[in-house]
Amino acid sequence: MSPNERKAMIRKDHADLSLIKQCKLLKISRSSLYYTPVGVNAETLKLMNEIDRVFTKYPFFGSRQIAAYLPRNGFHAGRHRVRRLMGLMVSVRLRRSDGAMKCLLDVHQR
């Protein structure tokens, strides 16, 4: 059973079993009940699109070179942020289609 299915089984208004006991029985953490994921804002999406554009044009660029290249186009981000966003984009691309990212990874590994 997936964690989302187990979370759906929890009843917050249950009189006999407290939330603590329900979470222990279902083997999920209590903090996961209260966590709501935060979406990506528009500014970060623009930056990610620009990083993707630069990386597509220069697949041999790393995070340092991309961070240095971004101010030419009016974007400002540090190397660590660029690296984090690049990793996020790679994982999203790999989930979407292995073929599209495989060619970029092959070019990058040469």
Interval 5-52: pLDDT, tens = 999 999 988 888 999 999 999 999 999 888 888 888 999 999 999 999
What pLDDT digit, counting tens, does each position of 62-82 carry? 999 999 999 999 999 999 999
All residues at 6 or more sequence positions from 75 whose CB lies less than 8 Å from its CB, including other chains? 46, 47, 50
In this structure, are residues 38 and 50 in contact, taking their beta carbons and an 8 Å threshold? no
Contact 3, 32 (CB under 8 A): yes
